Amino acid sequence: MDLLYISGSGRSGSTLVERLLHASQRFVAVGEFHVLWRLPHDQITCSCGARLPDDPFWQPVLASAGIGAPEIAELARLEARVARTGRIAAAGFSLDRLRDDPEVTAFLAPQLAILAAVARAAGRDIVVDSSKAGPRAFVMATLAASHSVHLWRHPTAVIASWRSKKFDQGLGTLMARPGIPAAAADWWKVEQLARRLAREAPVAMVDYDRLCADPAPVLAQALAAAGIAGDAGIPWADSHSVVAGAHYHSLNGNPDRFDRGPIRVAARSVDWSKQSAADRLLVPAAGALLGALYPRPG
Ligand SMILES: [Zn+2]
């Protein structure tokens, strides 16, 4: 079993990428895997529509991995200790030093058991975790069979997307709308860690706009850069659409994961007419500043 970890700010295309990969017979997407211990299970709605405690895929997977409530509680406790920027900085951003950390090992062992059970149940070789978080990208990169993809989307578009209203079918409410400073900080933090990780291990940097313009070659190039050899096996129906993969049990993430139709790749542009006058002024200013700090990759 190999792991493909997708990092990036919210609203940068991670759900799109995991859905495209899941359409292939090589990949199984689990969504934002870390919600498994971050959220109460009766509040998690799988992309198949089931609540986690009733999920026909996840319940046998967790049982076969030997994971119950005590292990889930321990994962939450350990994550709060090890998947922290401060802890990673204290290890000098060294993957070797993190590998030698017994708490990192203890945090990873049950996850490996679950991810291996996922691969077995799905009959696929590569599990896609699109948790997105930057510290988690570092911790998961310590695994031997781990591959990293980082999604970069222009911060103006990301912040504007956060500021627009979006309904979350999984939670049954509108998605949270963070303020400009919080959205900017989220973008900056994950970008900073991804660029630091790229100095320690291969990280395939993917530009969201390029991906949307020409998805098949950009994704193929990204997988090769992440160290995944061979054809991705994504069954493209035409240059910008793919028939969605079956048995999709993605935990959390963008509401698009509930779509059942073909996956259509199209860049979502900002509808400035729906933004407030203040946002029309401040979002591009914040975005320009961040974009200058961490410019478009490639
Ligand atoms: Zn499910």
The tens digit of pLDDT for each residue in 15-66 reads: 999 999 999 999 999 999 999 999 999 999 999 999 999 999 999 999 999 9
DSSP 8-state secondary structure symbol assigned to residue 84 = -
pLDDT of residue 274: 85
Measured in Å, residue 48 CA sits from the centre of ligand 1 at: 4
Residues of the chain with pLDDT under 50: none
- Domain CATH number, residue 62: 3.40.50.300
Domains contained in the chain, number: 1
- CA atoms of 141 and 226, how far apart (whole Å): 11
pLDDT of residue 171: 66
Measured in Å, residue 201 CA sits from the centre of ligand 1 at: 32
Q: Is residue 298, in this structure, part of any structural domain at all?
A: no
pLDDT of residue 172: 73
pLDDT of residue 235: 96
Domain containing 164 equals 2-293
Measured in Å, residue 270 CA sits from the centre of ligand 1 at: 32
pLDDT of residue 170: 67
The answer to whether the beta carbons of residues 251 and 129 sit under 8 Å apart is no
- CA atoms of 159 and 202, how far apart (whole Å): 27
pLDDT of residue 251: 95
Q: Is residue 83, in this structure, part of any structural domain at all?
A: yes
Measured in Å, residue 208 CA sits from the centre of ligand 1 at: 27
Measured in Å, residue 241 CA sits from the centre of ligand 1 at: 23
Length of the chain: 298
Measured in Å, residue 242 CA sits from the centre of ligand 1 at: 21
Q: Is residue 122, in this structure, part of any structural domain at all?
A: yes
pLDDT of residue 243: 95
- CA atoms of 242 and 254, how far apart (whole Å): 18
Measured in Å, residue 6 CA sits from the centre of ligand 1 at: 20
Q: Is residue 116, in this structure, part of any structural domain at all?
A: yes
Q: Is residue 126, in this structure, part of any structural domain at all?
A: yes
Ion ligand 1 — residues with CB under 5 Å?
A: 46, 48, 50, 55, 57, 249
Alpha helices, DSSP H only, in 83-232?
A: 85-90, 95-99, 102-122, 134-140, 155-163, 180-197, 208-213, 215-225
Measured in Å, residue 255 CA sits from the centre of ligand 1 at: 14
